[in-house]
């Protein structure tokens, strides 16, 4: 062992290692633990916030007047943040929530707080327009309050402002400490003669307890008028009614009577299962069932 140690480690120096030192060095090397696997790389964490567009503002109000490329908006926001010297939140990306939506998702590096991101509200307004409210992509809830009095003193008078809605909500004891994300805004009651309408309210609700309280104890607004709350559900990009097959609404909002029958193949006043009997071209069918090409009802009407 001594000869092997000297042959391996001391030939260049020309020194002979004593027996006790060779044994100690060998035992020291043998007792060292084997190197473990390399630690896994730290995952890249990101936090998302959503800029929700106020639908009551009408058309999309961006500096360009229309919805543009998401990358150009991200670069513009990054440039304004860099020029301002703000370092609380680092924006690393962004995207539109869908192909037709006006809501914009911001992606930040790490886990910046809501207060850090709120410092950039003026930058967001400068790039995307003033009709946006900032909400975290998680930990918040949006509800719709129905049966809210419009408080119009005359026909065609303006609706109560966002400040009035905030004040009325704060008058409820259970909502005094509610942290609103953006201003409440009207969803309906745009008709000049409507007496009641619906408003949308977004607020912080990490564990969902505030939503349960609101559903259990509906808030009062403008006197003793009790509202009817429900959780906000975003409408799908394309909705089609299964009763009249029109686009833009579902069966719960269909204006036609419940006993209405519309064939999805020919738009006739019969059910789909009876189409092969009542098709206008039944005499030309080569089989028992209809062999006519299917044409979209909406396209045919257009």
Question: Which of 3.30.70.330, 3.40.50.1820, 3.40.630.30, 3.20.20.70 is the CATH number of 140-231?
Answer: 3.30.70.330
Q: What is the pLDDT of residues 254-298, one digit of tens each?
A: 888 988 888 888 778 888 888 777 787 777 777 777 777 777 888
Tell me the pLDDT band of 15, cut-offs 50, 70 and 90: low
d(CA 204, CA 136): 8
Q: Taking 80 as the threshold, does the pLDDT of residue 196 lie above it?
A: yes
Any idea where the domains of the chain sit in the sequence?
A: 46-136, 140-231, 251-301
Tell me the pLDDT band of 11, cut-offs 50, 70 and 90: low
> Do 46-136 and 140-231 share a fold?
yes
CA-wise closest residue to 189 among 212, 165, 213? 165
Average pLDDT, the chain: 79
Which carries the bigger pLDDT value, residue 284 or residue 245?
245
Tell me the pLDDT band of 229, cut-offs 50, 70 and 90: very high
> Percent of the chain, pLDDT > 90?
3
Q: Taking 70 as the threshold, does the pLDDT of residue 188 lie above it?
A: no
Read off the pLDDT of each residue in 131-157 and give the average, rounded to a whole number: 78
The whole-number pLDDT of residue 274 equals 82
The whole-number pLDDT of residue 118 equals 79
What residue ranges in 64-218 does DSSP mark as E strands?
Answer: 91-96, 104-109, 132-136, 140-149, 185-186, 196-204
Question: What's the CATH fold of domain 46-136?
Answer: Alpha-Beta Plaits (3.30.70)
Q: What is the pLDDT of residues 97-110, one digit of tens each?
A: 766 667 788 888 88
d(CA 51, CA 48): 10
d(CA 198, CA 149): 9
**How does DSSP classify residue 175?**
G
160: helix, coil or strand?
coil
Instruction: Say if residues 134 and 117 touch (Cβ distance below 8 Å).
Output: yes
Please provide the size of the chain in residues.
302
Q: Taking 70 as the threshold, does the pLDDT of residue 88 lie above it?
A: yes
The whole-number pLDDT of residue 264 equals 83
- For CA atoms 268, 274, 278, 281, give the dihedral sign: positive
């Amino acid at each position: 062992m001594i000869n092997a140690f000297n042959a391996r480690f001391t030939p260049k120096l020309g020194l002979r290692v004593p027996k006790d030192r060779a044994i100690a060095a060998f035992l020291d090397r043998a007792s060292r633990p084997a190197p473990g696997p390399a630690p896994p790389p730290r995952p890249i964490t990101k936090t998302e916030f959503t800029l929700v567009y106020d639908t009551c503002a009408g058309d999309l109000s961006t500096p360009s007047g229309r919805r543009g490329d998401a990358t150009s908006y991200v670069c513009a926001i990054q440039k304004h943040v860099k020029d301002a010297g703000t370092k609380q939140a680092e924006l690393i990306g962004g995207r539109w929530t869908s192909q037709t939506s006006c809501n914009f998702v911001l992606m930040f590096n790490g886990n910046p707080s809501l207060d850090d991101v709120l410092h950039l509200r003026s930058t967001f307004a400068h790039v995307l327009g003033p009709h946006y409210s900032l909400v975290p992509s998680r930990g918040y809830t949006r509800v719709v309050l129905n049966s809210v009095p419009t408080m119009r003193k005359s026909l065609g008078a303006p609706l109560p402002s966002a400040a009035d809605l905030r004040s009325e909500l704060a008058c409820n004891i259970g909502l005094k400490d509610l942290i609103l994300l953006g201003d409440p805004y009207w969803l309906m009651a745009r008709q000049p003669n409507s007496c009641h309408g619906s408003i949308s309210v977004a607020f912080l609700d990490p564990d969902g307890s505030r939503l349960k309280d609101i559903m259990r104890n509906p808030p009062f607004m403008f006197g003793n008028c009790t509202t009817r709350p429900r959780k906000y559900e975003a409408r799908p990009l394309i909705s089609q009614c299964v009763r009249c097959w029109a686009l833009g609404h579902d069966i719960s909002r269909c204006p036609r009577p419940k006993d209405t029958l519309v064939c999805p193949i020919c738009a006739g006043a019969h059910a789909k299962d009876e189409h092969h009997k009542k098709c206008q071209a039944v005499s030309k069918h080569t089989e028992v069932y209809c062999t006519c090409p299917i044409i979209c009802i909406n396209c045919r009407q257009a």
